[in-house]
Amino acid sequence: METTIITNVALVNPTLPPEVIEGGWLAFSGERIQALGPGTPPAERARQATTRVDGRGGILLLGLVNAHTHAAMSLFRGLADDLPLKEWLEQHIFPAEARVVTEEFVYWGSLLACAEMILSGTTTMADGYFHEDSALEAARRSGMRGVLAQGVVDFPAPGCPDPSFNVENAIVFLNRCWGEEPLRAGIFCHSAYTCSPETIQKAKEACRVHDALFFIHAAETEVELQETSSRYGFRPLEHLARLDILDEKTVLVHGVWLSDEEMDLVASSGAGLVICTESNMKLASGIAPLPELLGRGIRLGLGTDGPASNNDLDLFGEMDLTAKLHKVASMDPTAVDAPSVLHMATRGGARLLGFEDVGLLEPGFQADLILIGTRRPHMQPLYHPVSQLVYAARGADVESVWVAGRQLVRDGQLLSLDMQEVMARATELAKGI
Ligand SMILES: [Zn+2]
């Protein structure tokens, strides 16, 4: 079997607290990590390797996990900015989606996003959008790992003009796309303000039958809090709990406007929660109570949200801003530290998405690896690799990427996709928007 050995690297295992080997090596065989250690590898192991990579003093980390995005919306990047969520969605995004989102749009938009994510060190994504078959096809071609979730709303949507069939449409997707590791299928109900209680419950039931993940935006804005409270008499998370949809296979997204009782509800249900700091900042939705969520032991991941509300898919930037925002919001520099954010963006996100053998640098785990160069001024000197990754590194520092042992990036060049073709098609499609 093909065995790759990477030498001359700092190894960062994003446990809490993190484990760091300042100078070491790692070997993987097939799709799994085989061994790792400090210094130079034993002569016998080095001799057996079929591929040898000199890490040149870089940092070897697990691939990052973008636990919430809408990949195809990369084609809407920069289309409408500096607006509140409600106006941005209802006057710009929803109408544009109704006008131009086709299977072709989703395929090429998702490919553009996959290229951006892989090149900036993200190896796993959770996507939620329409025409999700096309997103899945793009993810497969790119080589990424992920959960692709068919979008559901209670109004005519791309690929589902009659909303009375929205959940059936998602079930067809689940049936067709089941069991294509490293890609998995799920359902994404947009929110409790675009989906009725019946729609949400039907979609969650379908996920239970298929043992699939269920995603939903929840408690994102103050307007959502007010509307849900007046329509149903309960706050957003109380409403979802009463629909009996909170469990370990439900992934909530945002969680900005949460009461203490709602945080307790999330914690006791085992549901996961994805924090999307930059999107919440850009749409001025608010600041998720991350220190309190961490304190309750809630399963947390980090997401960029769609490229139209961020406007990039660089998780290094997301980690940096997440840690810093909570320091200034609480006027406490210890509020959220670098190891916690790194854990959310790796092991935390992987577990949230059900990839139990992803996200740790340990023998037997999936070889989803990224090599980050440290030979540029902003990466020197290197006292604390974890701090450097969160507070100084950028997606552009990623030199090599492997997913399940397959190399997708070498020396900053994407191997799995024809970038010129992807860029040309994206540019062409943007002309029609
Ligand atoms: Zn979203």
Give residue 159 CA to ligand 1 midpoint distance, Å: 19
Going 12 to 14 to 20 to 24, the CA torsion angle's sign is negative
Please say whether the beta carbons of 213 and 170 come within 8 A: no
Give residue 126 CA to ligand 1 midpoint distance, Å: 10
Give residue 68 CA to ligand 1 midpoint distance, Å: 6
Q: Flag whether pLDDT at 179 surpasses 70.
A: no
Give residue 71 CA to ligand 1 midpoint distance, Å: 10
Q: For 362-421, how does the pLDDT look when each residue is reduced to its tens digit (9 = 90+)?
A: 999 999 999 999 999 999 999 999 999 999 999 999 999 999 999 999 999 999 999 999
Cα dist. 210→93, 136, 190, 204 in Å? 31, 17, 19, 10
Give residue 163 CA to ligand 1 midpoint distance, Å: 20
Give residue 421 CA to ligand 1 midpoint distance, Å: 27
In the chain, where are the structural domains located? 3-63+359-414, 64-352
Q: Measure the CA–CA gap between 354 and 299, rounded to whole angstroms.
A: 11
Q: For 320-358, how does the pLDDT look when each residue is reduced to its tens digit (9 = 90+)?
A: 999 999 999 999 999 999 999 999 999 999 999 999 999
Give residue 217 CA to ligand 1 midpoint distance, Å: 6
Please say whether the beta carbons of 279 and 307 come within 8 A: no
How does DSSP assign 229-248, residue by residue?
HHHHSS-HHHHHHHTT--ST
Determine the residue type at 31.
Answer: E
* Beta strand segments in 99-181, E: 122-129, 145-152
Give residue 21 CA to ligand 1 midpoint distance, Å: 36
Give residue 128 CA to ligand 1 midpoint distance, Å: 8
* Topology adopted by domain 64-352: TIM Barrel (3.20.20)
The CATH homologous superfamily to which domain 3-63+359-414 belongs is Urease, subunit C, domain 1 (2.30.40.10)
Q: For 124-165, how does the pLDDT look when each residue is reduced to its tens digit (9 = 90+)?
A: 999 999 999 999 999 999 999 999 999 999 999 999 999 999
Please say whether the beta carbons of 26 and 6 come within 8 A: yes
Here the tokens at position 140 are 């497969």
Give residue 245 CA to ligand 1 midpoint distance, Å: 19
Here the tokens at position 155 are 């109004």
Residues whose CB falls within 8 Å of the CB of residue 181, separated by 6 or more in sequence, listed in order: none
Give residue 176 CA to ligand 1 midpoint distance, Å: 24
Quote the DSSP letter at residue 409.
Answer: E
Quote the DSSP letter at residue 195.
Answer: S
Give residue 401 CA to ligand 1 midpoint distance, Å: 26
Here the tokens at position 57 are 């003093």
Give residue 75 CA to ligand 1 midpoint distance, Å: 15
